[in-house]
Chains A and B, each alone.
Chain A
Amino acid sequence: MSLIGESHNSVVVDHRSAIVLKDLYDIRPVDLNLIDKVGSFMLPQVDNIVDEWYDWLGQQAEFKQFFSNKKILQHVQQKQLDYWQEFLAGEIGEEYVKVRRVTGETHARIGLSMTVFFAGMNIFDRLFSDSIQKQNFDENEQMLMSDAISKQVHLDTGIVCEMYNYVSNELIAGQNKALMEMSTPVTEIWAGILLLPVVGIVDSKRSQDIMNAVLNEIGKTNAKEFILDISGVAVIDTAVANYLIKITKATRLMGCESTISGLSPANAQTIVNLGIDVGTVKTTSTMMDAIDKAFKRQNLKIIEIKS
């Protein structure tokens, strides 16, 4: 589980301590004492409450999707009993918070909707309140008990929401990374000739990725020609031009000539207007032209077979 141990990307979990969280939700020692007191009469009947809750869950559309397997259902019900035992202990420490985070992450990863989770916690809150009202306490104490329970239910729900958020951010970061890795597919189209089409926006990170990918490939294949096709690049501003010039210089140092292909009429005019000096960089308007010239320099020729 990625929550424990280092993460492969920059997504951070909310690491608020138990003390900070208790303060945020205004849970005081007196509340925890009340919860402990509730626990003394609630624990023996928690089984019934969980059963009642599953009656509710059985009516939800999600039930079939997640809990149709008997074994899973039993396992989850046991987990839930454990949870309420921990909940009613009247103690919110670091371990408790950590377990809530892991629980939240599990819920998010199996894809249970946040709405059902929220509604489920709300139902539990109500079932507990009903149960408190059946006891022989004065009205004020009943209210304070229900309040204390609600505060802790909110704290727990908050942690779980945070984890839903964490899991989806992690997913986005992972997708971005995958996209970035896929976006520099340097290919050897012929012995000694490399091709890389670039699509989208080129930023400093991307240009560094391109540089690394190309230089590594040149080292591996001993290529003499590299064609960088930029017809799919959204804009060529001075920064992108600077990156491109640097890439061609670096490949030349490794004995490989670069050609930048796919310059549209609009881009060509814009580059001139910006005042960029392309110097000795080889450019062509089409990729076909670049390939043709690279073949010629390598003394290769494509001929039509006449039958």
Chain B
Amino acid sequence: MIQEKRSRIRIGREADTVRAIMESKRMAHSLGFDDYHCQKIATAVSELVRNIIKYADWGEVTISPITEAKKTGIEITVQDRGSGIADLDSAMQDDFSSSGTLGLGLPGVKRLMDEFAISSEVDVGTQIIIRQWL
């Protein structure tokens, strides 16, 4: 049923974020998400890829259509090769920022999405998987 294929985008410069945001929005739209959900997904991706630019040298975004039982959805994996997050509990709290910004990024993304999983290892990198169901 799903015509969409997985798409992978390398993030190294600020200009690459545009491609990740646009591609996630395009795929969400083509899978049948409404405007609000497309906007939510694109915003979550924007939030996460900005973190790559800010905290890691480079990373990768994988956008895939997913199915489970009779459900259709979109899954986005954001992987970076940065310094990792030492204190995940703090990073997931509102108003916690290690760089003088609003400090709502990660908890905000978790609130936006149906599913959110994060794993991080110091000096290895961080991986975040988000999912949204139709």
Whether A associates with B in a native complex is yes
Min Cβ gap A203→B in Å is: 5
Is B4 in the interface zone, CB < 8 Å from A?
A: no
The answer to the question of A44 belonging to the interface, with a C-beta cut-off of 8 Å to chain B, is no
In angstroms, Cα B42 to Cα A235, docked, is: 7
Contact, CB under 8 Å: A239 / B107: no
Mark interface residues in B83-115 (1 if CB within 8 Å of A CB, else 0): 000000000001000000110110111011000
Asked if residues B21 and A274 are in contact (CB atoms below 8 Å), the reply is no
Interface of B is mostly: helix
Closest to B50 in A: A239
Q: Which chain A residues lie closer than 8 Å to B8 at the CB level?
A: none
In Å, the complex CA distance between A235 and B18 comes to 10
Cβ A236 vs Cβ B43 within 8 A? yes
Residues of B within 8 A of A241 (CB): 102
CB contacts (< 8 Å) of B107 on chain A: these are 275
- CB of A273 to closest CB in B, whole Å: 5
**Is B35 interfacial (CB-CB < 8 Å)?**
yes
Cβ of B131 under 8 Å from chain A:
no
Q: Tell whether, in the assembled complex, residue B108 and residue A266 are in contact, meaning their CB atoms are under 8 Å apart.
A: no
In the complex, the chain B residue whose C-beta lies closest to that of A271 is B43
Chain A residues whose C-beta falls within 8 Å of the C-beta of B39 in the assembled complex: 235, 264, 266-267, 269-270
Closest B residue, CB atoms, query A239: B50
Q: Determine the residue in chain B with the shortest Cβ distance to A205.
A: B14
Interface contact tally, CB-CB below 8 A: 78
> Is A175 in the interface zone, CB < 8 Å from B?
no
Cβ proximity bits A212-243 to B, threshold 8 Å, 1 near / 0 not: 00000000000000000000001111111110
User: What A residues does B17 contact at CB under 8 A?
Assistant: 201, 203
From A201, A238, A270, B105 is in contact (CB under 8 Å) with: A238
Q: Which of A125-144 contact B (CB under 8 A)?
A: none
Asked if A265 CB lies within 8 Å of chain B CBs, one says yes
Q: How far is the CB of A302 from chain B (nearest CB, A)?
A: 32
Instruction: Convert A233-257 into 0s and 1s, putting 1 for each residue whose CB lies closer than 8 angstroms to a CB of B.
Output: 0111111111000000000000000
Q: Contact flags (1/0) for A183-223 with B, using CB distance below 8 Å?
A: 00000000000000000110111000000000000000000
Report the bound CA distance from A235 to B47 in whole Å. Answer: 9
B14 with A238: CB separation less than 8 A: no
Does any Cβ of B come within 8 Å of A72's Cβ?
no
Tell whether A203 pairs with B14 under 8 Å between CB atoms, given A234-B42, A239-B50.
yes
- The contact string, 1 if C-beta is below 8 Å from chain B, for chain A 263-286, is 011110110011110000000000
**Do the beta carbons of A238 and B47 come within 8 Å of each other?**
yes
**Are A238 and B18 within 8 A (Cβ)?**
no
- Is there an interface contact between A270 and B43, defined as CB atoms closer than 8 Å? yes
B62 within 8 A of A: no
Query: Would A275 and B42 count as touching, CB distance under 8 A?
Result: no
Number of interface residues of A (CB under 8 A): 24
> What chain A residues lie within 8 Å of B50 (beta carbons)?
237, 239
What CA separation (Å) do A205 and B94 show in the bound complex?
A: 26
What is the minimal beta-carbon distance from A198 to any residue of chain B, in angstroms?
14
Cα distance A240–B17 in the bound complex, in angstroms: 13
Q: How far is the CA of A274 from the CA of B95 in the complex (A)?
A: 12
Q: Are A237 and B14 in contact (CB under 8 A)?
A: no
Min CB distance A173 to B, Å, is 11
Q: Does B134 contact A (CB under 8 A)?
A: no
CB atoms of B21 and A201 under 8 A apart: yes
Which chain B positions have C-beta within 8 A of A203?
14, 17
A-B contact pairs, 19 of them (CB 8 A): A201-B21, A234-B46, A237-B50, A237-B105, A239-B50, A239-B105, A240-B46, A242-B102, A265-B35, A266-B35, A266-B38, A266-B39, A266-B40, A270-B112, A273-B108, A273-B111, A274-B43, A274-B108, A276-B104
Which chain B residues have a beta carbon within 8 Å of chain A's beta carbons? 14, 17-18, 21-22, 25, 35-36, 38-40, 42-43, 46-47, 50, 94, 101-102, 104-105, 107-109, 111-112
* A interface residues (Cβ-Cβ under 8 A, vs B): 200-201, 203-205, 234-242, 264-267, 269-270, 273-276
11 more contacts with CB within 8 A, not counting A237-B50, A238-B101, are A234-B25, A234-B46, A235-B39, A239-B47, A239-B105, A264-B35, A266-B38, A274-B47, A274-B112, A275-B94, A276-B104
